[in-house]
Structure 1
Amino acid sequence: MTKVTPLHVGVGARRGVSPDEVMGLIERALAEAGADADAIAALATVDVKADEPGLRAAALRLGVPLTAYGADALAAQPVPHPSEAARRATGAPGVAEAAALLSAGSGGVLLVGKRKSARATCAIACTV
C-alpha cells in the first residue's frame, strides 16, 4: 500500500457502536485510499460522541488521539455529502467529512468521502 501522511479520519457513530465495527469501516476506507493505518495522525468526531467507548477504543488501537469538535465548528465546514440524520442528531449537517477536514486543517482535502456501516460513518482527509 501507498503511505500518504498524515491522514485524518473523521468518524461519526450511533451510541453503542463496537470498536470492531469502527475499525472495520476505517480499514475499508484506508484500503480504498491505498493507505496504511500507520499514516493516521488522528481520529476526529463531534464533541457529544467523544466519550463513546467504540470510538475511544478505535483511537487507542490505532495509537492516535481522538479529537472532538463542537457542532458549530462542524456545521461551518462545507461537506459534499450532508445528512439530515446527522443534523438532527448533532446540529451539524455532517460529522465524518467535516471532522476529517477540520482535523486536516487549512488545505485539507477529502481522500475518501463519507462511508457507512450499520452504526458508523467515516471519511479520510489529508493536507496537500
Structure 2
Amino acid sequence: MIVVGLGSRTGVTTAALAAAVREVLADAGLAFRDVTALATLDRRATSPEVRVLATEAGWRLVGYSADELAGVEVPSPSATVAAVTGTPSVAEAAALIAAGPKGGLMVPKRIIGTITVAVATDVSSVTDVVE
C-alpha cells in the first residue's frame, strides 16, 4: 500500500493538486497507479478539489481530525501549520496513519507552492523508507 498525504490551502485547483502529487511521485520513481489512498485533514477531504483528485485517480480518500494528526510523530512538524490547522503536520501525519501501524515515510513532506505532499507505505514490505 502506498499512500499520498496531502495538505493545501483552500481554493487550490484539482489540476494544481494533481501536478504537485505527480511531481513528487515521479521524483520517487512512482506513478499514480502505484498509489492506493489519499490521506489528508478531515475538513480538506470534503473539498471538491481533493475529492475529484481521489476519484479521478481511483484512490481511496481518508480524512483525519487535527487531534488524530497531532498525535503522530513526524520528522518535519510546522508551527505555522499548527497555528492554522490545529496540528503540526497534515501531509506526513495523514500518510503515516493511513499506511497503518507499520507505516513509514518513503518521501518526507515536499512543499510545492501552497501544496504539501508526503508519501508513506507499510514498512514491513519495503526497505526504501526514510528513517
When normalised by structure 1's length, the TM-score is 0.91
Q: Which deviations, in whole Å up to 9, do the C-alpha atoms of 1:62-105 show, x marking residues without a partner?
A: 11121000111100001111111210111100100000000001
Distance 1:17 1:41 in 2: 22
Tell me the residue number matched to 1:19: 14
Give the match for residue 96 of structure 2: 101
When the two chains are superposed, the root-mean-square deviation of aligned CA atoms in Å is 1.0
Q: In 2, distance between residues paired with 1:122 and 1:8?
A: 10
Alignment partner of 1:53 is 2:48: yes
Match of 2:27 among 18, 25, 32: 32
Distance 1:55 1:75 in 2: 21
Q: Does 1:82 align with 2:77?
A: yes
Read off the aligned partner of 1:70 and give its amino acid letter.
S
Count residues with an aligned counterpart: 123
Correspondence 1:123 to 2:118: yes
The correspondence for 2:61, drawn from 66, 71, 86, is 66
List structure 1 segments (4+ residues) > 4 angstroms apart after TM superposition: none
Gaps of 5+ in 1: 1-5
SS at match of 2:69: helix
Q: Which residue of 2 aligns with 1:3?
A: none
**Hey, what's the Cα distance between the residues in 2 that align with 1:15 and 1:76?**
23
Q: Distance in 1 between matches of 2:47 and 2:113?
A: 16
Q: Which 5+ residue runs of structure 2 have no aligned equivalent?
A: 124-131
Tell me, in whole angstroms, the C-alpha distance in 2 between the residues paired with 1:99 and 1:21: 20
Q: Does 1:111 align with 2:110?
A: no
Percent of matched pairs sharing the same residue: 41
